[in-house]
Amino acid sequence: MHLIDGNQIATALIAELKAEVATFTGRKPCLTLVRVGEDPASVSYVKKKEKTAAEIGVTSRIILPPVTITQAELFALIDGLNADPTVDGILVQSPLPKHLDEVAVFRRVSPDKDVDGFNTLNLGKVAQEDDTGFVSCTPAGIMELLARSGTDLKGKHVVVLGRSLIVGKPIALLALQKRAGANGTVTICHSGTTNLATLTRQADVLIAAIGRPEFVTADMVKPGAVVIDVGINRVPDATKKTGYRLTGDVHFPTVAPLCAKITPVPGGVGPMTVAMLMKNTVKAFHLRAAL
């Protein structure tokens, strides 16, 4: 069993981006992060993004609107950032407070600044295999992990567990693409799937993004499979100082011994998401410079 080290791969990618940004003269790429509310996970994610941006040489601006902000006010804020020529990338941290329509907010971000890759146009570009768009960061990070760990999807049966817009649907589209490293045969499973274990056991590459702690057990995995665990779940644990431990969607202790390769949680897909956000921001900078 080979552990796919997301921290190591993300570090290599960040070093490449840092070297690239160091060659830029004049203005550096600028990423604006909008965080509404004090969701603990969101607070730590934004801090991590800010720290990584600083390491690469990307300018980051943090905007913290009040949790009471209305949809119209948030739209006006995004419109201002869309129009600002010094802003290359915009990320609105999810989850948003319940009174705000998250999908409408993602759509409001200009497609050419949508470094999170959630705008309808960018999702459409993934389907059309159009490289001028932005791929959402977690699926892009999974493809990078697979490529850099020597896993070619060509001719492989890829089973995606989960159908979210953030991971499930885009990773399925990326795995299907007619390009080097992809060309997989893809099955998407979800809460409405019957005989789930029968399908997951057929996977050469299993991507678990179902959001349920330790859901994937040894009886669901084919020996020799590559398993990518996208889940980050907080499970109560009295032995930890925080009162919880982080676990993935895969029951690592029993599944890992079966696998050819597997990502750990934490330290697998998570670090890649932030690295790919930075890669998208640098890409946005190039696209704006070319206008």
Q: What is the pLDDT of residues 161-188, one digit of tens each?
A: 999 989 999 999 999 999 999 999 999 9
d(CA 55, CA 278) in angstroms, rounded, equals: 10
Q: Which pLDDT score is estimated for 264? A: 97
pTM for the full predicted model: 0.94
Q: Across residues 135-155, what is the average pLDDT?
A: 97
Of all residues in the chain, what percent carry a pLDDT higher than 90? 88
> Residue 270, CB half-sphere, CA atoms under 13 Å: how many?
16
Are 129 and 179 in contact by the 8 Å Cβ rule? The answer is yes
Is the pLDDT at 126 greater than 90? The verdict is yes
Is the pLDDT at 291 greater than 80? The verdict is no
**In 10 A of CB 98, how many CB atoms?**
8
d(CA 160, CA 231) in angstroms, rounded, equals: 12
Q: What are phi and psi of 197, to 5 degrees?
A: -65, -35
Q: Which pLDDT score is estimated for 39? A: 85
Q: What are phi and psi of 221, to 5 degrees?
A: -120, 135
Q: Which pLDDT score is estimated for 290? A: 80
Which residues are CB-neighbours of 287 under 8 A, at least 6 positions away?
A: 112, 132
Q: Which pLDDT score is estimated for 187? A: 98
Are 53 and 59 in contact by the 8 Å Cβ rule? The answer is yes
* Cα 50 from chain centroid (whole Å): 16
Q: Which pLDDT score is estimated for 234? A: 87
Annotation says 204 is catalytic: no
Domains annotated on the chain, with CATH: 25-111 (3.40.50.10860), 137-270 (3.40.50.720)
**Directed axis angle between helix 269-289 and helix 137-148, to 10°?**
110
Strand residue runs (E) in the chain: 2-3, 30-34, 59-63, 89-92, 157-161, 185-189, 205-208, 226-229, 233-236, 244-247, 261-262
d(CA 172, CA 120) in angstroms, rounded, equals: 16
Q: Which pLDDT score is estimated for 40? A: 83
Is the pLDDT at 288 greater than 90? The verdict is no
Q: Which pLDDT score is estimated for 171? A: 98
Tell me which of 116, 204, 229, 249 is the catalytic residue: 116
Q: CA angle at residue 268 from 251 to 96, to 5 degrees?
A: 90
Tell me which of 93, 114, 156, 261 is the catalytic residue: 93
Q: Which pLDDT score is estimated for 242? A: 87
Tell me which of 49, 113, 125, 156 is the catalytic residue: 49
- Using CA atoms, how far residue 46 sits from 14, 42, 63, 89, 266, in Å, is 17, 6, 11, 14, 17
pLDDT for 41-91, tens place per residue? 889 889 999 999 999 999 999 999 999 999 999 999 999 999 999 999 999
Annotation says 283 is catalytic: no
pLDDT, mean over the chain: 96
Annotation says 93 is catalytic: yes
pLDDT for 15-46, tens place per residue? 999 999 999 999 999 999 999 998 888 898 89
- CA-only gyration radius of the chain, Å: 19
Q: Which pLDDT score is estimated for 134? A: 97
